[in-house]
Amino acid sequence: MKPLEITKGVYSVGVIDWNVRDFHGYSTYLGTTYNAFLILDDKVTLIDTVKKGFEDELLYNISQIIDPKKIDYVVSNHTEMDHSGGLPRVMHKIGEDKPIFCSKMGQKNLSKHFRQDLNFQPVDNLGELSIGKRTLTFLETRMVHWPDSMFTYLNEEKILFSSDGFGQHFATLERFDDQVDEGELMYQAKKYYANILLLYSPLILKLIQKVKELGLEIEMICPDHGVFWRKDPGKIIEAYQEWAEQKPKRKAVVIYDTMWHSTHTMAEKIVAALGAEGVKAKPMHLRSCHRSEIITEVLDSGAVLVGSPTLNNGLFPTVSDFLTYMKGLKPKNKVVAAFGSYGWSGEAVKLINREFEAMGLEVVDEGLRVQYVPDEDALEACVALAKRVAEALPPE
């Protein structure tokens, strides 16, 4: 990825990782970018670095604009290693005595990550730093999505460098929202939110409110992953507001795995019955769909139904894996139900309900168990379950 001047004197100098396919269990089938930004002013400032192994490309990009040794300041918005892994190498190149501005928690975390005596300079929330003709303002965004996270706002150009906020795992040579397919972009942003930030929705609502109260004018949002929002930065902010509120829609996702197709048959009958009740419904087979794609559908679904056969007196492994993943993200405002087939013991439905209760979700009823292959009565019971779920959802 060549360096690009995104506004006068401000450059994108990050790198593309075309080949990464997994991020902590999140499928990154489009790859990702590690974005970093260079500001030319009286104090040349680098905002964020890159994942370890991509330092040479970052330094080469910088060298197309200025000798890296002329960098005066570095800002580290986030400690996570996909942004800070290249920091020691970069500092060795530009001068290890130069200041690294970070949050107070960032100073602690970076010190523990690298065990090096670097010149960390912790900043206050809403603290400012003059770099010459321009001023940076630091906005603490604790737990969005790590305790050290912060945004950096370039006052004069009204650019928000938003670290992991508003990002997407989306590798592309195009750098701006108006240069890529809007549907694909919004899906990747939604997927990013669902899999990384959903857990922190209450904090994100407070952050959005804080930004509004501060009256920050934002003409461009530059996250550390994916493309930059310049056409309409308010659109992604509004999307975050909606996703964080988690208002239930008349939509259901039916998540399942199956051994001999009995649970599969139940899932498809439930989906068809939900559709007949005016519910937008989608089946998702756990060995055909990645967990991160499924959670993206869960994000704005008002209902979540999970089906599992009973295996060894317990849940099918893929179902157990998904429920663990979902529980960690703490979705809210869902009605839920369990179903599944069994041979002789049939514990799966009970175990799914136990997980739902641990998540604090509203269980529609005790769930539906079918022994062996579903007959006509069992299929009618699937229809009845779908109707109970549909009744619990808000009207269109």
225 is catalytic: yes
Which one is catalytic: 83, 145, 169, 264? 145
* DSSP collapsed to 3 states, 175-223: CEHHHCCHHHHHHHHHHHHHHHHHHHHHHHHHHHHHHHHHCCCCCEEEE
**36 contacts: CB under 8 Å, gap ≥ 6:** 12, 13, 14, 15, 46, 47, 48, 49, 50, 58, 224
145 is catalytic: yes
| Both structure tokens of 215 | 């009256």
157 within 8 A of 217, measured Cβ to Cβ: no
The question of whether 113 is a catalytic residue gets the answer no
**Which residue in 164, 177, 257, 297 is the catalytic one?**
164
| 192 catalytically annotated | yes
Q: What is the DSSP string of 144-161?
A: SSSTT-EEEEETTTTEEE
Q: Which residue has the tokens 């995104």?
A: 6
Of 48, 57, 82, 297, catalytic: 82
- 48 labelled catalytic: no
* Most distant CA atoms of the chain, gap in Å: 77
Contact call for residues 159 and 167 (beta carbons, < 8 A) = no
Please count the other Cβ atoms lying within 10 Å of the Cβ belonging to residue 24. 8
| 389: its two tokens | 């779920």
> Per the residue annotation, which of 26, 41, 78, 342 is the catalytic one?
78
Q: Is 375 a catalytic residue?
A: no
Q: Please state, as a whole number, how many other Cβ atoms lie within 10 Å of the Cβ of residue 82.
A: 20
Report the C-alpha dihedral over residues 4, 7, 13, 19, rounded to 10 degrees.
-70
Q: Of 41, 48, 57, 80, which one is the catalytic site residue? A: 80
Dihedral sign for Cα atoms in the order 213, 219, 223, 226: positive
Question: What six digits make up the tokens of 263?
Answer: 């649970």
Set 153, 225, 264, 347: catalytic member: 225
Residue 341 forms beta bridges with which residues?
370
Question: Is 193 one of the annotated active-site residues of the chain?
Answer: no
Closest CA to 49 of 40, 41, 58: 58
24, 376, 377, 396: which one is catalytic?
24
Rounded CA separation 259/257 (Å):
7
Which residue of the set 192, 200, 240, 342 is catalytic? Answer: 192
Annotated active-site positions, please? 24, 78, 80, 82, 145, 164, 192, 225
